[in-house]
A and B are shown apart, each in its own frame.
Chain A
Amino acid sequence: MNEIEQYLAPRRLDEALQAMANGDATVLCGGTDLAPQTESGARQYTAKLLNIRRIDGLGGIAAETDQVRIGAVTTISEIRCHPALAEIAPVLVEAAEHFASEQIRNAASLGGNLCNASPAGDMIPPLLVLGASVELACWRGGAVQTRLIPLERFFVSPGKTVKLPEELLTAVVFDRPAADFVGKFRKSGPRPALEISTVSLALGARIADGLLSNVRVAMGSVAPTPLRARHVEAALEGKPLDAASIAAAVAATAEDAKPIDDVRASAWYRSHLVRVFLEEVLNDVRGN
């Protein structure tokens, strides 16, 4: 049983990073994952409880330039209601729309959702198809140091990421999608939201002259981490979107999705849904 010795709610990033330098800080933002996980004993507190919600410059969405930057403490509601994001990256807004409930969207942060590293994390597949990276900052050599990690290399296993204990996820960045980029998101469940996805799937690709390029397909809840479906992508890359390529892509899901049986669904159903959703989003794109 670990005891918290210190609570900190700094206003400056450097203060926060210095407090984290020993790797003994538990980061608190919206609390929507931390509270139930510590309550159930699934997660233990460390010596410091560090509230990052008051740090200047850690929030906000900058979408004016070629690179979109979403601060780590940005809430899911802010993403859902952001007019520029709805223009630039509707696939992300769509995922926010189906995220938990309004009350949770109002509290939960994007950074928290990513660091929680749930295989079912709803914001992850759309960010994967947007080619997003996460910015990690730490205090080293008497200064703030940052590094960018592509999101697809961020997750290690359920609840685990490559982020070091002394690092703080400060932002998510991705290049403004090209004009011919299309993105789609689909998650399962009869409820419109408040549903831990049995399966989620996102598609991102460019379409020019009827051919797909830069195809990215991401899946949630089919493996220990959300993943890029490389075989599905290969089946689509450079291809026209027709019955044959769709069938090949759907068949390729078996190579990428290796789900398990658990309390929410069987492996059979998850594999089945992945095929259904992929076919659905591809047909959607084809229809448009």
Chain B
Amino acid sequence: MMSVETEIRFKLNGREVALMVPVTMNTLSMLRDKLGMTGTKYACGEGECGACTIRIDGKTVNSCLMYAVDCDGRELVTIEGLRTPEGLHPVQQAFVDHGAVQCGFCMPGMIMQADYLVENNPNLTREEAQRGLEGNLCRCTGYTKVLDAVEAVVEAKKCCGRC
């Protein structure tokens, strides 16, 4: 279906972006097909798996359900934007260190959501992490090591707060 295009401007991982998008295009397709940002994954296209999780104005959403036009004037962060110049983001590092990554296909979305949970709740418990990750499917890990990694991040943050 051909649809009319419109120009949108937004911040993507801290950089200003302006581009034309078909008005029915979803944000996931825009990221992957228009901008070559393939870190964000397609796995279901209907918000059931979380592999395409990104942040928009600080909140996590499924980018497959979000219309690209609705990015206009907003701030997006994708998995590519999490990494700092010094190296891996602490959540990414914890996932690596705790063996949470197997095939890794769900991990960009899982890590985006984990980062959101940890940021919003410094006392995040394992049970709360389980609930918070309920929208992220993983077929490889059984989530155990994912939760180990999230717990480790929470603990590390608490420690830093004290010292």
Chain A residues with CB under 8 Å of chain B are: 1-7, 9, 28, 30-32, 35-36, 38-39, 45, 49, 51, 53, 77, 100-104, 106-107, 191-194
Contact = CB atoms under 8 A, between A and B. Distances in A.
B113 interface: yes
Q: Sorted from nearest, which 4 A-B pairs have the closest CB atoms?
A: A101-B135, A7-B23, A36-B46, A106-B59
Nearest to A75: B59
Given A30-B65, A104-B135, A38 B4 contact: no
Given A51-B70, A102-B60, A192 B131 contact: yes
Contacts of B138: none
B61 interface: yes
Interface stretch (B47-55, B84-92, B95-103, B149-157): B47-55
B45 A31 contact: no
Given A102-B132, A103-B47, A35 B70 contact: no
B65 A32 contact: yes
Contacts of B116: 102
Contacts of B59: 77, 106
Contact of B45 (A6, A39, A51, A191): A39
A35 B64 contact: yes
B62 interface: yes
Given A32-B47, A45-B24, A101-B135, A5 B4 contact: yes
Interface string B23-40: 110100000000000000
Contacts of B106: none
Contacts of A39: 45-46
A45 B3 contact: yes
Chain B, interface residues (CB within 8 Å), range:
20 to 34
Contact of B60 (A7, A32, A35, A103): A103
B3 to A, nearest CB: 5
- The residue among B23, B45, B50 with the most chain A CB atoms within 10 A of its own CB is B23
A36 B47 contact: yes
Contacts of A101: 47, 50, 134-136
Contacts of A51: 67, 69-70
Given A53-B70, A101-B135, A106-B59, 17 more contacts: A3-B4, A4-B3, A7-B69, A9-B70, A30-B65, A35-B26, A35-B47, A36-B47, A45-B24, A49-B3, A77-B59, A101-B47, A102-B132, A103-B53, A104-B47, A106-B61, A193-B131
Given A3-B1, A6-B4, A103-B113, A31 B66 contact: yes
B69 A107 contact: no
B128 to A, nearest CB: 11
Nearest to A106: B59
Contacts of A45: 1, 3, 24
B125 to A, nearest CB: 14
B2 interface: yes
B6 interface: yes
A31 B63 CA distance: 10
